[in-house]
Structure 1
Amino acid sequence: MVEWIVIWCCLWTICILSYTLYIKQKLNKNKSRVDNFQKDQSILTFGFFHPYCSAGGGGERVLWLEVCHLLENFPSCKIIIYTSEETTVDALTEKVYRQFGIRVLPKFSLVFLESSFLLEPKEYPWFTLLGQAIGSMFVAIEALLRYTPNCFVDTTGFPASMSIARFCFGCYVVCYVHYPTVSKDMLQVVRQRQVKYNNRTFIAKSYLATQCKLFYYRVLMFLYFLTGKCADVVMVNSSWTKQHISVMWKPEYLQIVYPPCSVKTLLDFCLSGRKRHWIVSLSQFREEKNHILQLFIIQKLVQQHEEKDLQDFCLVMMGSTRNEQDVERVSQLQKLAGDLNIASYVRWVINASHEQIYNYLSKAAIALHTMRDEHFGISVVEFMAAGVIPIAHRSGGVAKDIITHEQNGYLASNLEEYVAILERLLFQLSEEQLHSIQCNMRTRVAEFSDETFASEFTKHLLFPRCSPVVEYKKL
C-alpha cells in the first residue's frame, strides 16, 4: 500500500513538473512573439476577456476602439472576444455602431461563455467580490479551453482571470484597469463605519461585523496583489487609478492611457443658444453612479425656488442597463422621483443611442455627475467637449485629471454644494461667463481623443519595451 502511494506521488510530481515546464516554455514563446512583432508581423492572436462587451459603457468603448484600431492597422492579427451574449459578429458590430458610432470591421471572432452567469453579483449575496473573483477563474478556464490566444487581454476588471491565463495556459497577459477592485479607500469606509452601497447599515453599526469585514477586505487585497503580479503589462485610465494600482500591485510595467472620448463630433456643437434649464446626466444605471443623489439635488432646488423660476427646467437622465438588476434600479429611481414630487422635472432616456445622446448634449448647458471616486469619467470629458458645463464629485480621476474647479467645470462634495453650484449656473452667471468656461473646457479635452487612446494602447500592448515610440503607419 505504501509503495503505491509513493508511486502515485511520484507520478503526480512528474506530471506537475512537466506541465509547469510546458507552461513556462509556452509563456516564453508568447512573450518572444510579442517582443519580435515589430520585426516580424506574423500572426499574433489576442483574446479580449470582456463578457459584457455590448453593455454600452465606457469600458466597452475602450474595448471596441482598440479592436477597431488593431483590425485596421494590423490585419495579420487574429482577435477573439470572449462574450456572455449569444450573437453574431455582424449583429454585434451594428450594435456597437448604434451605441458609440464606431464602425468595427467584422473580422474578429466571438467565443460564447456559457458560465458567464458566475460573474453576476446577484449570484453572491454575501462575499460578493470573492465570489466574483472565484467565478471569473472558472469563466476564464472555459474561455481559454475554447480558444487559447498568444496574448490574453483583460479589459473588464476581473484580475483573477489573469492568473488562469498565465499559469494554466501560458498566455502573455495585458490588462487595462478602469477601477481597482479593492482599495485602501474601501478599507477606510469600513473602518470609519460609513453606510454606503458596499457597506451595509447593519455592518456599519456593529463593531464585530466591521472587524470581520476589515479582515475579509485585507484577504481580498492580498489576493488582488497576487493576481496583479500575473500581468506583463498594466495600463490604467487615470492618475487616481495609477496611484492605487502602483501601491497594491507594484507592477514592473505601468502606464497611464487615458480612455477614449468621442470628442471630434462634440467639438463641432455650437456653444450659443443653449437651454440653460436643461441638465443632463449620462452613465450606466449602476448603484455606484449614485443617481439617487441627483434626484435629491433636483428636489432641493425645486423646494428653494418658485415654479415660475423653473419653467422648462428638466433633468435628462440618460444611460444604459446591463441586466435585470439595472432595469429594476431604474424602476426604483422612477418611483423615488414620484415620491419626491419631481417626476415632472425628470426625463428618462434608457439605453440611449449615440444620436439621442448627441441631440441632448448639443442643446443642454449643464451636466450632473455624482459618482464618488470615479476612476476617470469619460462622460465628463464628453460633456466638456460638447460645451455642457459639468458639476462632478470632488474625488477620483475627475478631480485629479480632468476638471479644474471654476475654470473648466465645477466640483462638489455634498448635496448642498451641488445645489449651490447649480443655482449659480442657472441664475447668477452671465452668458459671457458661461462662454468663457465652455472655451476652457474645449481646450482641456484635446488630450482625451479616440486617436490618442488607440495609439497609446497599441504602443503598450504590442511594443512595451520598444524605444523610441513606434510609428505604426510605417510598419
Structure 2
Amino acid sequence: MAVILLSTLAILLLSPWIIPYALHTLSRILGSHIRSKTLSRRETLFDFTKSDLQIQGLPLPISEDGDWEKIEGCAVGSAPNGDKPDKEWKGVIGFFHPFCNAGGGGERVLWAAIRACQRRWPEAVCVVYTGDHDTAKEQIIKRVQDRFNITLHPPTLHFLYLSTRHYVLSSTYPHFTLLGQSLGSLILSLDAFTLLVPDIFIDTMGYSFALWLSKLLFPNVPTAAYVHYPTISMDMLQSLDASDDETKGKGLNAGAGVGWRGKAKKMYWHIFAWLYSHTGSTIDVVMTNSSWTQSHIRSLWGPKRSPSSHAIEVVFPPVAVEELETAIPVSAESEKDRLPHLLYIAQFRPEKNHTLIIQSFSRLLHSLPQSPSSPSSPSPSSIPSPSTIPSPSTTASTRPKLILIGSVRDDDDKKRVYKLRLLVHSLGIKEDVEFICDAKWPVVLEHLGRSSVGVNGMWNEHFGIGVVEYEASGLISVVNDSGGPRGDIVVMVEGGRTGFHASTEEEYADAFREALDLSVEEKVAMRLRARKSARRFTEEVFAGKWISHMETLVSLQMKLSPPLLPPG
C-alpha cells in the first residue's frame, strides 16, 4: 500500500514535467511520420520544376531587370554571425496563404515576397498553400500580373490545394468566431503539412496558431509571420467599454461590453488574447506591416518571446510607387486633367466602412448648390441643409463624384455591394457614385490619374496600401484618424500636410470640401509632398528588407537541419 501511495505521489509531483515531455515526444513522432509521408511529393515537385526549367529555359536571372543589385544592397545582413546564406540554396519555402487569389493588399505582399525569393534563390522552390482549388496555377499567375503588375517565375512556383479552408471562414462559427477560426487554422495547417512539409514555413495571413503547430511538429523548420493586423488587440478590448458617443467607427463590437453578455465577451476575449500571445511567442521571425501593428504585436507577443529572439520589425508593404510616378504626372499643367472625383480603393468588406464614406459624401453633395441638371431628391433628415454648412467653391458643373473600386471575393461581398447600391439610391446620389468591382490594374491606374482625392474609411487600418497608391499618384488623401494611415502614411512632409484625417461623417465631409477647395498651387504642392512621402514604401525597399529576414531564416534552417536536396 505504501508503495502505491509513494508511486502516486511521485507521479503527481512529476506530472508538470512528464505531461509536457510526453506531449513534445508524441508531437515529434507525429511530425516525423508526416514528413516521411510527404517526401514523395517533395521529389515530384522538384521533378516538375526541373522539367519546366528545361522547357522554358534558364532560371530567373538574379538581376532580371537590372536593379536586383540595388535591392541586395538594401538588405542589411541579419544572418547569424553576419554570414550570407548561399545563393545556391535549394530548399522549399512554404507560404501559408489560404486566400491567395483574393486580390487585396495582403496578396500583393505575398506575391512581391515570392518574387524577391525567386530572385535571391533562383533554384529554391516556393510553395503556396491555398484553398482556391477552383483556380489553376496559370490563372492565378495571370491575375497577379493583371492586378498587381508583378511577374512571377512559374517553374519554381507551385500551389498545393487545401480541402479544409471552410474551417477558417467566419461564417462557420456564428459564436466564438475568433477562437473557432484560430482552432480551424490548426486543421487547415495540418492539411497543408500532410501535403508537404517545407524547409521554411511562412504565414502571410495572420494564422499564428498554424505557426505554433509547425513549431510543435517540426522544431527544425524555421517559422516566420508577416502580420498585417493583430487578430486581437488592446484597442479591441478597450472598444468593448466604449460609450454610446464613442462607438461609431470603432469596430463592429464597440460598446458590446455591457451586461452579463458583455462581461462574458470580455472574459472570452482576454482568454483568447492569452492564447494568441502564447502562439505568437514561438515564431522565429516576426515582421509587421506598420508601426501601429508592431506596437500591438510587441505588447502581445513580446513579453513571452525569448530574450534571444529576433526583434519584431516593421517591413512596410510593397507599393508600385515607381510605376505610378512614371505613369501619372503631377504639375500645374496636369491639374487640368483631374476631375473632382473622390476615389476609394478597398475590398468590399464590412471593416472597410464604405457606408461611412457614402454617407459623408452624401452630406457633402447635399451642401452643394443645386442646378437644374443636378439630380433632385429630398435631403435625408440626417444631412444638414446647405445653410448650416458653408458651400464650397465647387460649382454644379464640376460636381464631385465618388468612385468605389474593390474586389468581390464571394457571395457575402456581392450582397454587401448590393446593399451599398441600395443605400446610394436611398440617399438620392445614385448618379454620383460609381461601383467598379474586380478592376484590372490599367483601370485602377486610369482612375488614380484622373481623380483628385483618395479616401480611406477603415478604423485602425493596419497599414493602407491603397493610401500609399493615392500619395504616389498625387492624390490628396482623406483617411481615418487611426492606425497606419494616420501614423505612417499621411504625415507631415517638409513642414506641410500630405492629406487630411477624419473620423465622423461631418469630419469626412469637411475634409472632402477642404481638399476640393484648395487652389491649384496648394493642390500641386500637397500632391508633390504626398508623392515624396510615398517613396518610403517602394517595392525595392520592401524586397531588401524581406530578403534580409529571409536570409536569417535560411541560415537558421541550414544550422538546424540541412535541406533535403532535390533528386539528381
> Shift in Å at residue 463 of structure 1?
2.5
Q: Secondary structure at the match of 1:249?
A: helix
Structure 1 position 310, deviation (Å)? 3.6
1:42 aligns with 2:103: no
Cross-structure match for 2:387:
none
Determine which of 78, 84, 99 is the counterpart of 2:147: 99
Structure 1 position 239, deviation (Å): 0.7
Matches within 5 A, 1:44-443: 44-86=91-133, 87-106=135-154, 107-170=156-219, 171-192=221-242, 194=247, 197-199=251-253, 203=256, 206-250=258-302, 251=305, 252-253=309-310, 254-268=312-326, 269-271=328-330, 272=334, 273-308=336-371, 309-311=395-397, 312-404=399-491, 407-426=497-516, 428-443=517-532
Look up the SS of the partner of 2:435 in the other structure.
strand
| Count of residue pairs the alignment pairs up | 449
Which one has more relative contact order, counting CA pairs under 8 Å at least 6 apart? 2
Q: Equivalent residue of 2:93, what SS?
A: strand
Asked whether the 8 Å contact 1:404–1:410 carries over to 2, the reply is no
Do the aligned partners of 2:28 and 2:216 also contact (CA within 8 Å) in 1? no
| Contact 1:191–1:214, Cα closer than 8 Å, also in 2 | no
SS of equivalent residue, structure 1 residue 407? coil
Code of the aligned partner of 1:121: S
Tell me the secondary structure at the aligned position of residue 419 of structure 2. helix
Distance 2:315 2:193 in 1: 27
Counterpart secondary structure, 1:79: strand
Alpha-carbon shift at residue 212 of structure 1 (Å): 0.8
Alpha-carbon separation, structure 2, partners of 1:144 and 1:24: 9
Contact 2:365 2:400 in 1 (8 A): no
Task: Report how far residue 415 of structure 1 moved.
Answer: 1.4
Partners of 1:23 and 1:169 within 8 A in 2: no
User: Which whole-Å deviations, capped at 9, do the CAs of 1:354-402 have from their partners, x for residues lacking one?
Assistant: 1100010011111111111111111101000001111001111111111
Q: 2: distance between equivalents of 1:457 and 1:384?
A: 23
Tell me, yes or no, if the aligned pair for 2:96 and 2:203 is still in contact at 8 Å: yes
Distance in structure 1 (CA, Å) of the matches to 2:466 and 2:254: 28
TM superposition score normalised by structure 2:
0.75
CA radius of gyration, larger in: 2
- Give distance in 2, aligned partners of 1:325 and 1:165: 32
Structure 1, gaps ≥5 residues long: 27-33, 467-475
Question: Is 186-195 or 118-127 further displaced after alignment?
Answer: 186-195
Measured after TM superposition, the shift of residue 440 of structure 1 is 0.5
Please give the per-residue CA displacement for 1:417-439, whole angstroms capped at 9, x wherever unaligned: 1111211222x311000000011
**Which structure 2 segments of 5+ residues have no match?**
9-14, 34-78, 372-394, 556-568
CA deviation vs aligned residue, 1:265-304 (integer Å, no higher than 9, x gap): 2112122224341111001111111000011011111211
The code of the aligned residue for 2:276 comes to Y
Shift of residue 320, structure 1, vs aligned partner? 0.5
Quote the Cα distance in structure 1 between the aligned partners of 2:174 and 2:470.
Answer: 35
Displacement, 1:144? 0.7
Deviation at 1:92, TM superposition (A): 1.2
Looking at structure 1, the residues matched to 32 and 102 of structure 2 have their Cα atoms a distance apart, in angstroms, of 37
Instruction: Give the letter aligned to residue 320 of structure 2.
Output: S
Does structure 1 conserve the Cα–Cα contact (< 8 Å) formed by 2:211 and 2:279? yes
Structure 2: how far apart are the matches of 1:58 and 1:69? 17
Q: What is the match of residue 458 of structure 1?
A: 547
Range that drifts further, 115-124 or 34-43: 34-43
Residues 276 and 366, structure 1, Cα contact 8 Å, conserved in 2: no
**Structure 2 residue identity aligned to 1:94:** K
Secondary structure class of the residue paired with 1:163:
helix
CA positional deviation for 1:307: 2.7
Q: Retained in 2: the 8 A contact 1:266–1:382?
A: yes
Q: How many angstroms does 1:21 deviate by? A: 5.8
2:224–2:285 CA contact under 8 A, matched in 1: yes
What is the one-letter code of the residue matched to 1:160?
F
Supply the distance in 1 between the matched residues of 2:108 and 2:277 (Cα, whole angstroms): 27
Cα 1:394–1:93 change in 2 (3 A) is same
Distance of 1:133 and 1:14 partners within structure 2: 25
Deviation at 1:262, TM superposition (A): 0.8
CA distance in 1 between partners of 2:87 and 2:343 (Å): 49
Q: Percent identity?
A: 30
- The answer on whether the counterparts of 1:124 and 1:132 sit within 8 Å (CA) in structure 2 is yes
Amino acid at match of 1:306: P
**Alpha carbons of structure 1 residues 299 and 43: separation in structure 2 relative to 1, 3 Å:** same
1:18-52 CA distance string (max 9 Å, x none): 445668999xxxxxxx8677147332211100011
| Equivalent residue letter for 1:173 | T
Equivalent position of 1:472 in the other structure: none
How far apart, in 2, do the equivalents of 1:396 and 1:92 lie? Answer: 31
Higher mean alpha-carbon deviation, 324-333 vs 52-61, is at: 324-333
CA contact (8 A) 2:241 2:254 kept: no
